[in-house]
């Protein structure tokens, strides 16, 4: 019988996850189908019940359900527990377990797309929202030497830096020390929406299209979590200064690959997954 998996969200029609996972199933000859299911706020318990009774292979969870889904699950992985957010649900025996693979996706992107291992590296994360928090927890777990969280609101920076208890520090975006930290870093990650098509500059000043004001240079790695446009101005500015840069497609494929491995127990065919995204995004 054909196995079933889905991403739940609201809205979810734009999701690239069906293309990525269906390409992976096809590449490995797994008889499974993955769909995007629009689930209204409040209907999450019902869809989790369906997953349980119909024994779905797996479920991805996207906005706005990443926190709400937790109440319907039996258990959480340590990283999902510390983040308080779930993007992947899998069966462990009969128990439904919530995981968060977003940060592992960032680690994958650094290793596989930028050829840099974050172990022992000094990292600056620009932003302190959901994507930043996932990065920070995963980078601390793999052993980054330091993680400096630079954010507009210092309270959110402090909360995010606490996810990296030994190595995390928080700085307000307006603090002059932030530029020194960026200059001293090995890896700088843009985890804000700045530079995304249609983003608003807000209080950051300058043009939203240019991305964050802090830009890494020679000998440094710039990972932009934005992938629309595929080549952001921030990546271009970093490359012009001599940095090695990549966009957010690596995180997208990486988080999906880790979820796929949870569901199937098999190594994810990341080339096929990457090709599916490239096909969709051009």
Q: Please tell me the distance from the alpha carbon of residue 58 to that of residue 52, in angstroms, as a whole number.
A: 10
Name the strand (E) or helix (H) holding 149. Answer: strand 146-151
Question: Which residue in 21, 65, 66, 122 is the catalytic one?
Answer: 66
Q: Determine the straight-line distance between the first and last CA of the chain, rounded to whole angstroms.
A: 34
Chain Cα centroid distance, residue 279? 20
Cis peptide before 43 (omega within 30 of 0): no
Q: What mask of x and - would describe binding to ligand NAP in positions 177 to 216, judged by CB under 6 A?
A: --------------xxxx-x----xx-x------------
Which member of 129, 167, 230, 275 binds ligand NAP (CB under 6 A)? 129
Closer of 18 and 127 to ligand NAP (Cβ): 127
Which member of 132, 140, 147, 223 binds ligand NAP (CB under 6 A)? 132
Which member of 248, 262, 268, 274 binds ligand NAP (CB under 6 A)? 248
Q: Please tell me the distance from the alpha carbon of residue 24 to that of residue 47, in angstroms, as a whole number.
A: 24
Closer of 59 and 173 to ligand NAP (Cβ): 173
Which member of 19, 164, 226, 257 binds ligand NAP (CB under 6 A)? 226
Q: Rounded to the nearest whole angstrom, what is the least distance from the CB of residue 249 to ligand NAP in the complex?
A: 7
Does the annotation mark 66 as catalytic? yes
User: By CB under 6 A, which span of 214-222, 224-232, 263-271, 272-280 interacts with ligand NAP?
Assistant: 224-232
- Closest residue by Cα to residue 245 from 187, 179, 203: 187
Q: Rounded to the nearest whole angstrom, what is the least distance from the CB of residue 194 to ligand NAP in the complex?
A: 5
115 φψ region: left (φ > 0), alpha (ψ -120 to 50), beta (else): left
Residue 111: other Cβ atoms inside 10 A:
16
* HEC letters along 21-86: HHHHHHHHCCCEEEEEEECCCCCHHHHHHHHHHHCCCEEEECCCCCCHHHHHCCEECHHHHHHCCC
Q: What mask of x and - would describe binding to ligand NAP in positions 249 to 278, judged by CB under 6 A?
A: --xx--------------------------
Where do contacts with ligand NAP occur on this chain (CB under 6 A)? 127-132, 151-153, 156, 191-194, 196, 201-202, 204, 225-227, 248, 251-252
Catalytic residue set? 66
């Amino acid at each position: 019988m054909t196995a079933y998996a889905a991403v739940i969200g609201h809205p979810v029609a734009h999701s690239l996850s069906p293309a990525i996972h269906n390409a992976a199933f096809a590449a490995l000859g797994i008889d499974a189908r993955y769909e995007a299911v629009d689930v209204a706020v409040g209907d999450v318990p019902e869809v989790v019940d369906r997953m349980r009774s119909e024994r779905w292979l797996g479920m991805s969870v996207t906005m706005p359900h990443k926190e709400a889904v937790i109440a319907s699950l039996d258990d959480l992985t340590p990283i999902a527990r510390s983040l308080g957010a779930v993007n992947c649900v899998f069966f462990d025996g009969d128990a439904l377990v919530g995981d968060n693979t977003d940060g592992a996706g960032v680690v994958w992107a650094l290793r596989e797309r930028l050829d840099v291992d974050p172990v022992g590296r000094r990292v600056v994360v620009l932003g302190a929202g959901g994507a930043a928090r996932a990065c920070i927890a995963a980078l601390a777990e793999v052993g980054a030497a330091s993680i400096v969280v630079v954010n507009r609101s210092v309270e959110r920076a402090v909360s995010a830096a606490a996810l990296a208890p030994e190595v995390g520090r928080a700085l307000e975006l307006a603090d002059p020390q932030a530029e020194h930290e960026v200059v001293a870093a090995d890896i700088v990650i843009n985890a804000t929406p700045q530079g995304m098509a249609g983003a608003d500059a807000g209080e950051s000043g300058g043009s939203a299209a240019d991305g964050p004001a802090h830009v890494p240079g020679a000998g440094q790695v710039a990972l932009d979590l934005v992938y629309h446009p595929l080549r952001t101005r921030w990546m271009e500015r970093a490359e012009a200064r001599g940095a090695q840069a990549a966009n957010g497609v690596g995180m997208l494929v990486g988080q999906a690959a880790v979820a796929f491995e949870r569901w199937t127990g098999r190594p994810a065919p990341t080339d096929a997954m990457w090709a599916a995204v490239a096909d969709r995004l051009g």
